[in-house]
Amino acid sequence: METFLGIMIPFLGTTLGAACVFFMKKSLGDLVQRSLAGFAAGVMVAASIWSLLIPAIEQSEDMGKLSFLPAFIGFWSGVLFLLLLDRLIPHLHVGSEQAEGPKSKLGRTTMMVLAVTL
């Protein structure tokens, strides 16, 4: 029963949050949308640091002074990989008519999905 509740609480929170965005997306002002997007980005950065980077550094403590190196290399490899994908994959941002990346004959929906994936 505890496992079920442990799954249902985040599921319900995510569902309610998505429903609010889905039903209120046209009534929210641009400033509010940007603020909420900034807040979400901050939450993701905090989650990455506290749940990924710090545990990775702690797991490599036996390396001594270089214990940060595997996490540092992995983090920057991921950043560079995403920047490379941003250049190589054609994608479309919300509210933009011009696609980013190489020229492509992909549809708007496909390019928007690629942008969300990136």
Amino acid present at 80: L
- What are the pLDDT digits (tens) for 3-48? 888 888 888 888 887 777 777 767 777 787 788 778 888 888 898 8
Q: What is the pLDDT of residue 114?
A: 76
Q: What is the pLDDT of residue 76?
A: 92
Q: Would you state the structure tokens that stand for residue 109, as one six-digit string?
A: 């929906």
Residue 80 pLDDT more than 90?
Answer: yes
How far apart, in Å, do the first and last CA atoms of the chain sit?
A: 37
pTM: 0.59
Residue 77 pLDDT more than 90?
Answer: yes
Q: Would you state the structure tokens that stand for residue 48, as one six-digit string?
A: 């990455």
Residue 110 pLDDT more than 70?
Answer: yes
Q: How far apart are CA 89 and CA 8, in angstroms?
A: 36
Q: Would you state the structure tokens that stand for residue 78, as one six-digit string?
A: 């991921």
Q: What is the pLDDT of residue 25?
A: 65
